[in-house]
Amino acid sequence: MKFGVNLLPLVPCRSEPSDKSEMVTQLLFGELYKVQDENPKWILIEILDDGYTCWIDRKQHHQISKTEFERLKSAPAKRVAEPTGLLHCNEGVPMCIPLGAPLPGIDEKGVLDIGGKKFRFNGSTLDVAYKDISAFSLKFLNAPYLWGGKSVLGIDCSGFIQLLFIAMGYQLPRDAYQQAEHGDDVAFAEESMAGDLAYFENDKGKITHVGMVTEPGKIIHASGRVRIDSFDHRGIYNADTETYTHRLRLIKRITLLAKKA
């Protein structure tokens, strides 16, 4: 088996090996993956963190040895704590990387040695000892909605929630309906508290949307942009349009310390 690590700020991951195929998620800088299949232009990968399978362009693939993969996998990984962080590679060329990107093996001087390349990080970092998930979520406010996106430059509802929780030390799956299988049920919207996840269904009863409670009666979610709206037992109420935009299906509560990412 072959292994890889992303050394670019963001890499689009597609459902099929084609530039015309939909982007289903993104790789952030520092994320690891296993190679499942390949052809002359495309590589089928399995992302280490969430097991998501998707295709990336071969030109954006950086292969590493199994030994290096295991080293990076077990190395402490702080994460970028601001909307963008600045990396300098060993050639001195700067590169901006997004909020929440892992920095595997970063030392006290901000130096990373990844896949045979050295980087120096200038910026603030976040580690899993940090537990104020509501404060962290506010850093994404007004990020535009983007199907498959995972950054402040474009993010979807489940990518937003996944990134929040992995930064807190808990690994969720990529898609909303999969995330809904985690945690304990909260019986009533009135009993929800900051950090609870609310899931919403379409007309066919399928879970298609997720957001996080920031305080009783308020929810942050990616819909058009990352925004805070009111919510209750019916769903999400958009004050701008004076309508309910999403129908509540269930609410889950995750104990962040129960499982480390």
Starting at the earlier edge strand, list the strands of the sheet with 117-122.
94-98, 84-89, 117-122, 111-114
Q: How far apart are CA 251 and CA 198, in angstroms?
A: 4
Cβ neighbours, 10 Å, residue 123: 17
d(CA 252, CA 157): 16
User: How many other CB atoms are there within 10 angstroms of residue 81's CB atom?
Assistant: 17
Question: Tokens 């009783």 identify what position?
Answer: 216
Q: Are 79 and 103 in contact (CB under 8 A)?
A: yes
* φ, ψ dihedrals at 37, nearest 5°: -165, 165
Q: Kindly state the tokens that stand for 94.
A: 């700067």
How far is residue 5 from each of residues 15, 68, 80, 181, measured CA to CA in Å?
Answer: 19, 10, 17, 28
Determine the Cα angle at 144 with ends 51 and 18, to 5°: 50
Closest CA to 210 of 170, 139, 155: 155
The SS3 of residue 163 is: helix
The residues carrying an active-site annotation are: 157, 209, 221
What is the DSSP secondary structure assignment for residue 153, as one 8-state letter?
T
